[in-house]
Amino acid sequence: MHAISQIIERNLSRLDAGDSGLWINPEADEGWRETSNRFASLKLFCQDYATFSYLQRGGANVSFSAFPHSSGENYQCIILNLPRQKALLGMLLDCAAGLLAEDGLLWLAGENKAGIKSAAKLLKSRFGQIRKLDSARHCTLFEATLRLEKLPFNPEKYRQTWPLSCAQSEIHVVSYPGVFAHGRLDEGTALLLEALSGLTLEGEILDFACGAGLIGACIATMHPHTRVTLLDTSALALRATEETLARNQLTGSVIASDGLSDLDGSFDLVISNPPIHAGIKTDNRMGIRLLESVHDHIRPGGMLIMVANIHLPYEKWLSQAFGHCTQPLANASYKVLLAEK
């Protein structure tokens, strides 16, 4: 069991049995089972589809969406696992405060190296009383009470829309805190779009780990006869993608999936800037998982185009799956790789 789940479990006796609880973004472990015994009802909420799938298979009362919904219900206790980004923490704290009963309490738990200690400042801006309940296994647990104000949570307060040149057109990209490269075009995706500019695309296109959907939206804009599918494990990314498509009057299929495990069908092109971080750690498993199974989702004559950090040896896995790959474009930090089936 993850250390964050353990520090929560060892403090459960502090809670009043029989209250209603909500746990936002718990770990993919069994920590929820003991915690649920402390509440009359405990709902779990996930913004990550892989974690949602794990907890759902285990029988948890869990939902998956960009933001938790109350349906008019207020919770006596909300547990929040510390997210990686400070802006995302601020958004989730505002969301949680809007769902918390007037006399309710919020627990915030996270790893010390992820910045949990500095999170106290954000808590103090929203709650009248903050105290550190526990510190163990390189984690800290805070309790916040006396909510300063209750305002309806409005996602639009955190939404950013920004313009992006796409061939001879301009599109507008929508994103939220927690979505990859929120509010900007990252260097890797810029290189990938440059590599695409000289290609003629047609047929079925998959944008894997789509983020805010800007790659798929650019393809749909430049090649209107293509049919674009956009996939991500993040509910925030999927919401941003849907809004990006709608903002630009584009169509596409938006799918939640843990890697390619929930994907059916095959494609003429799979394109991706796969993430290399999980939490605060460098983690290229998402890219590797794509390469392990992507060959089965590409039609004969189709291709995979991806961008990666220059030091990551994706060529090794591409060569195993496709027999060869080329590097049509690179700079000091990133490389674009192409493999044909």
Residues 143 and 282 in one domain: no
Global pTM exceeds 0.85: yes
Residues 96 and 9 in one domain: yes
Residues 30 and 170 in one domain: no
Residues 146 and 186 in one domain: no
Residues 68 and 115 in one domain: yes
Mean pLDDT value across residues 96-100: 93
Residues 174 and 247 in one domain: yes
Mean pLDDT, rounded, of the chain: 92
DSSP states of 256-281 as a string?
E-STTTT--S-EEEEEE----EETTE
Residues 207 and 163 in one domain: yes
3-state secondary structure of 59: coil
**Percent of the chain predicted with pLDDT > 90:** 77
* Domain boundary residue, one of 155, 177, 212: 155
What's the domain range around 48?
3-155
Query: What's the angle, vertex CA 274, arms to CA 221 and CA 316, rounded to 5?
Result: 120
CB atoms within 10 A of CB 138: 13
Per-residue model confidence (pLDDT) at position 279: 44
| Dist. CA 212–CA 29, nearest whole Å | 28
What is the residue type of 305? I
Question: What is the total count of domains within the chain?
Answer: 2
Residues 141 and 234 in one domain: no
Residues 169 and 300 in one domain: yes
| Residues 226 and 204 sit within 8 Å (Cβ to Cβ) | yes
CATH number of the domain residue 44 falls in: 3.40.50.150
pLDDT in tens, 276-309: 644 444 456 656 666 778 889 999 999 999 999 9
* Domain boundary residue, one of 117, 136, 155: 155
Mean pLDDT value across residues 219-235: 96
Residues 149 and 195 in one domain: no
Residues 147 and 169 in one domain: no
3-state secondary structure of 64: strand
What is the residue type of 47? Q
Per-residue model confidence (pLDDT) at position 280: 41
Per-residue model confidence (pLDDT) at position 292: 74
Residues 85 and 219 in one domain: no
